[in-house]
């Protein structure tokens, strides 16, 4: 019965250790990803300050704030754009993010689908766009020079996480608390290793003491035997 209880305890301990390790690594990977995004954002911001609108990053991420692309892209989803240097590679049905030239939202970024293309008088291409949830095409034609990138991935709900992190409690929850958790876990692991080493030393010392006692008993026994032999001779 005691053996079964010991096995159950060890299995539970192993399972708990496995779950704890998975959680720790998950938090570590998330922190690394957030750190990489923050570094990328900081570098992009500095380059934008230096080069202005001439700066065109290879990758860009935008959060959707309107329902114009539903149900395919929902509000607070994030779209990952890849810059395409050759406009001929942008095709009908591609979803693009571009700088708007409409009067109502001039200069803002819009993410819509290409429904047709046109060739301008200067020989360059432009794109007729429309939101999947809109009844008609967008105003005007999007010049290739205004295209920020083609949408290659959609991350559902990432905008909510971004908004949450931007808040004070979000920053505390996402960054500070997991970091403190990992720190405490590592400290406890160090204490555990120290305790295990101390217990191992105690076992070694106990073994040495027992061996010493055994040797002492053997010597005493040998002395007694020797004394008996001497007594017989006398």
Mean pLDDT of 199-208: 71
Is 15 a residue whose pLDDT tops 70? no
Mean pLDDT of 215-234: 61
Q: Tell me which range, 5-19, 22-36, 59-73, is most confidently predicted by mean pLDDT.
A: 59-73
Together in a domain, 64 and 122: yes
Together in a domain, 70 and 146: yes
Together in a domain, 21 and 60: no
Q: Which residues contact 77 (CB under 8 A, 6 or more apart)?
A: 63, 64, 154, 155, 156, 157, 158, 159
Q: How many domains is the chain partitioned into structurally? A: 3
Q: Which pLDDT score is estimated for 72?
A: 93
Residues in the chain: 234
Which H helix or E strand runs over 149? strand 147-155
Which H helix or E strand runs over 116? strand 109-119
Instruction: Report the share of the chain in percent with pLDDT over 70.
Output: 61
User: Over the stretch 107-146, which tens digit does the pLDDT of each residue have?
Assistant: 888 999 999 999 888 888 899 999 999 999 998 899 988 9
How far, in Å, are 21, 86, 95, 171 from residue 26 at the CA level? 8, 39, 32, 17
Q: Is residue 204 part of a domain?
A: no
Q: Tell me which range, 24-38, 136-150, 177-191, is most confidently predicted by mean pLDDT.
A: 136-150
User: Over the stretch 63-82, which tens digit does the pLDDT of each residue have?
Assistant: 899 999 999 999 999 898 99
Q: Is residue 227 part of a domain?
A: no
How far, in Å, are 66, 151, 201, 219 from residue 48 at the CA level? 25, 21, 61, 87
Domain span at residue 182 reads 167-194
User: Residue 97 pairs with which residues in a beta bridge?
Assistant: 111, 149
The label of the residue with tokens 């860009």 reads: 60
Q: Is residue 6 part of a domain?
A: yes
Is 10 a residue whose pLDDT tops 60? no
């Amino acid at each position: 019965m005691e053996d079964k209880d010991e096995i159950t305890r060890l299995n539970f301990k192993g399972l708990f250790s496995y779950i704890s390790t998975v959680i720790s690594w998950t938090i570590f990977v998330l922190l690394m990803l957030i750190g990489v995004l923050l570094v990328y954002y900081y570098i992009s911001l500095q380059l934008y300050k230096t080069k202005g609108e001439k700066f065109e990053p290879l990758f860009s991420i935008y959060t959707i704030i309107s329902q114009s692309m539903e149900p395919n892209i929902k509000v607070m989803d994030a779209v990952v754009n890849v810059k395409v240097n050759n406009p001929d590679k942008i095709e009908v049905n591609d979803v693009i993010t571009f700088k708007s030239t409409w009067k109502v939202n001039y200069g803002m970024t819009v993410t819509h689908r290409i429904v047709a293309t046109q060739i301008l008088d200067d020989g360059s291409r432009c794109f007729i766009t429309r939101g999947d949830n809109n009844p008609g095409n967008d105003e005007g034609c999007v010049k290739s020079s205004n295209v920020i990138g083609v949408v290659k991935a959609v991350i559902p709900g990432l905008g909510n996480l971004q908004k949450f992190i931007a808040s004070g409690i979000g920053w505390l929850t996402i960054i500070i608390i997991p970091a403190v958790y990992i720190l405490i876990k590592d400290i406890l692991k160090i204490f555990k290793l120290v305790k295990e080493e101390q217990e191992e030393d105690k076992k070694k010392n106990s073994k040495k003491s027992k061996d010493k006692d055994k040797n002492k008993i053997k010597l005493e026994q040998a002395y007694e035997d020797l004394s008996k032999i001497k007594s017989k001779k006398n």
